Structure 1
Amino acid sequence: MKMEEGNTPIRPEKPGKVKPTRTSQFRPSRIALHIVLIIGSFIMAGPFIWMALSSLKSFEQIFAVPPVWIPDPIMWSNITDSLSAMPFGRAYFNSFYISFVVVFCQLLTCSMAAYAFAKIKFPGSRVLFIAFLATMMVPMQVTLIPLYLIMDTIGWVNSHLSILVPNALFNAFGVFLLRQFIMGIPKEMEEAAVMDGANPLYIYLKIILPLVRPALAAFGIFSFIGIWNNFIQPLVFLSDQNLYTVPLLLATFKGLYVTNWPLMMAGATISVIPVLVIYVFAQRQIIEGIALTGVKG
């Protein structure tokens, strides 16, 4: 037994039970929550699983009662038949190049507008930004007819320019997302650059863009998914099958009297693969970009 100053003995602590931490305690509510989340995830993934399995079924198996989940036999020929029945190679090329061009242009224009609204003070900036956000409440279907008349006047109907230009130059959601992120950048960094003689363009290229990479990545993924799945604009503006995108080409499987559902399901499954791959590998950037958007510096 050790002695403390003042000849006061120090008693050794008796080994006792370690109290369980908060995270190691048994919580029935947490288990119930996970069960509900698992059930909900299966419900949400059910249509996609059914589509993927139906792409390998025969026509009779799709409409069998009771439903047949596992295809027997597996019709691998549905995938090759769907690719050969329609010019899917051309449609994939159209969708990819339209998506990449629109995403690149939106990242550039939205980041520039977001930087102007967040850091550059000019008369009426707040009113202009509110009016800009108000356009998000206007459904695209409302502006579709005026947009078609404009495209027809300048001769862009049945051309990819009717899809590229309007989407590339305007995205209110992207401006809002990036503006919130840029507002979180400390003002002292910009002031230090100004003292060194930097102009707004240099600050935008060398300071703002490198710091907003998470938000740019998240917005770019959202934009790619939205453009890839865009159906209404190609349906209205395009009439030449060589110009069709993947969602529009899939709609041609649906006939007036008979629909080849196995080939349609196979084509739909193939069309989802690029979006699914991007989401699986970029979900970290999506979460990080959205989470950091509301953080103020």
Structure 2
Amino acid sequence: MTVLGSPAATRAPRSRGRSMPARGRAAVVLKYLSLVLASAVVVVPLAAILLTSLRTSREMADGGALAAPHDWFNLHNYAVAFTDGHMLRALGNTAFILVFSVSGTVLIGSMTAYAIDRFQFRLKKLVMALFLIASLVPSVTTQVATYQIVNRLGVMDTRWAPVLLYTGTDIVSIYIFLQFIRSIPISLDEAARLDGANSFTIYRRIILPLLKPAIATVVIVKGVAIYNDFYIPFLYMPDDNLGTISTSLFRFKGPYGAHWEVISAGAALVIVPSLVVFLALQRFIYNGFASGATK
């Protein structure tokens, strides 16, 4: 039996008080350790690409992937990758596909979501079910039929082939716009109709301006997917003159199969445009994702 005020009674609370800060410090250490590891997973490959792109062939044979180059201003690999890899033409083709695909996705997706939410028509539930089924079907299972359709439309081996595919197969953007439109009060539509506005005027002057957060989200998600996509440009645009940044970088493995310094320089050139866009639009990117997450 412990008497109140004895040494045993006074030592117990102190031991519990010391154990709580110890667990707190361990939690803080684990938190920062996980952040360091996650940052290393992202930063180390980028650092390896940058360091490799600045080295020569002899330096590649002598050192590892993270070895520092002797000349930090060696841009010869970048010149070879830019000229022999036709990166400027690849960026132009990618920009053409990106602009038309994203614009078409925003226009068609927002109009479709507006029609589904604001209009009542037969088989509406069936249409929604078909959209859901289409989003669940793996795209690779329909590539044979898709290839035949694109070939018969006469757009095979042109830049319009990926534009049509990117624009017409994005069911996710329709659901994103649909969630935002459902948060817009129908009273705005009714007030506009009392003023004599038709459905298209309501969509153009009321619905579309209020969809800016949704448009930002769709542009970000769709733009990144198109910029990084390799399969569709490689399959539907086999011509070397129609190469995008992904397919042009892939073709380095032919004449430059063993020259990793040139391949790394080409990869760095591909990373730079997306990095510049992210740094310039990071405020809109964060706002678009935050708005999309709260709807």
TM-score, normalising length from structure 2? 0.83
Aligned counterparts of 1:260 and 1:65: Cα–Cα separation in 2: 14
Q: Which amino acid aligns with 1:70?
A: A
For the 8 Å contact 2:256–2:262, the answer to whether it is kept is no
82-91 vs 125-134, greater mean Cα deviation: 125-134
Q: Any idea what the Cα deviations from partners look like across 1:203-229, whole Å, max 9, x if unmatched?
A: 110111111111101211221221122
Aligned counterparts of 1:116 and 1:30: Cα–Cα separation in 2: 50
Greater share of residues in helix = 2
For structure 2, the 5+ residue unaligned runs are: 1-23
Aligned counterparts of 1:168 and 1:248: Cα–Cα separation in 2: 20
Aligned counterparts of 2:241 and 2:255: Cα–Cα separation in 1: 21
Residue equivalent to 1:77: 76
Residue equivalent to 2:18: none
Q: Which amino acid aligns with 1:47?
A: P
Secondary structure in 2 matching 1:253: helix
Q: Does 1:43 pair with 2:41?
A: yes
Aligned counterparts of 1:230 and 1:193: Cα–Cα separation in 2: 42
1:292 is displaced (CA, Å) by 2.4
Residue equivalent to 2:21: none
- Percent pairwise identity: 29
Q: 1:186 to 1:294 in 2, by over 3 A?
A: farther
Residue equivalent to 2:166: 167
Q: What RMSD, in angstroms, separates the aligned Cα atoms of the two structures? A: 2.3
Aligned counterparts of 1:67 and 1:282: Cα–Cα separation in 2: 32
For the 8 Å contact 2:51–2:65, the answer to whether it is kept is no
Secondary structure in 2 matching 1:175: helix
Residue equivalent to 1:221: 220
For the 8 Å contact 2:102–2:167, the answer to whether it is kept is yes
Aligned counterparts of 1:82 and 1:288: Cα–Cα separation in 2: 36
Aligned counterparts of 1:214 and 1:164: Cα–Cα separation in 2: 23
Residue equivalent to 1:56: 54
TM-score, normalising length from structure 1? 0.82
For the 8 Å contact 1:181–1:295, the answer to whether it is kept is no
Q: Any idea what the Cα deviations from partners look like across 1:13-47, whole Å, max 9, x if unmatched?
A: xxxxxxxxxxxxxx644564244223312222322
Aligned counterparts of 1:199 and 1:89: Cα–Cα separation in 2: 45
Q: 1:30 to 1:190 in 2, by over 3 A?
A: farther
Residue equivalent to 2:110: 111
Q: Which amino acid aligns with 1:136?
A: S
Taking the TM superposition and a 5 Å limit, the aligned residue runs for 1:1-297 are: 28=25, 29-30=27-28, 32-62=30-60, 64=62, 67-74=65-72, 75-255=74-254, 258-293=257-292, 295=294
Aligned counterparts of 1:63 and 1:185: Cα–Cα separation in 2: 62
Aligned length: 271
Q: Which amino acid aligns with 2:36?
A: I
Aligned counterparts of 2:145 and 2:31: Cα–Cα separation in 1: 48
Aligned counterparts of 2:63 and 2:90: Cα–Cα separation in 1: 35
Aligned counterparts of 1:87 and 1:257: Cα–Cα separation in 2: 14
For structure 1, the 5+ residue unaligned runs are: 1-26
Aligned counterparts of 1:181 and 1:259: Cα–Cα separation in 2: 50
Q: 1:263 to 1:215 in 2, by over 3 A?
A: same
Q: 1:31 to 1:207 in 2, by over 3 A?
A: farther
Q: 1:139 to 1:106 in 2, by over 3 A?
A: same
73-82 vs 283-292, greater mean Cα deviation: 283-292
Secondary structure in 1 matching 2:238: coil
For the 8 Å contact 1:178–1:293, the answer to whether it is kept is no
For the 8 Å contact 2:48–2:66, the answer to whether it is kept is no
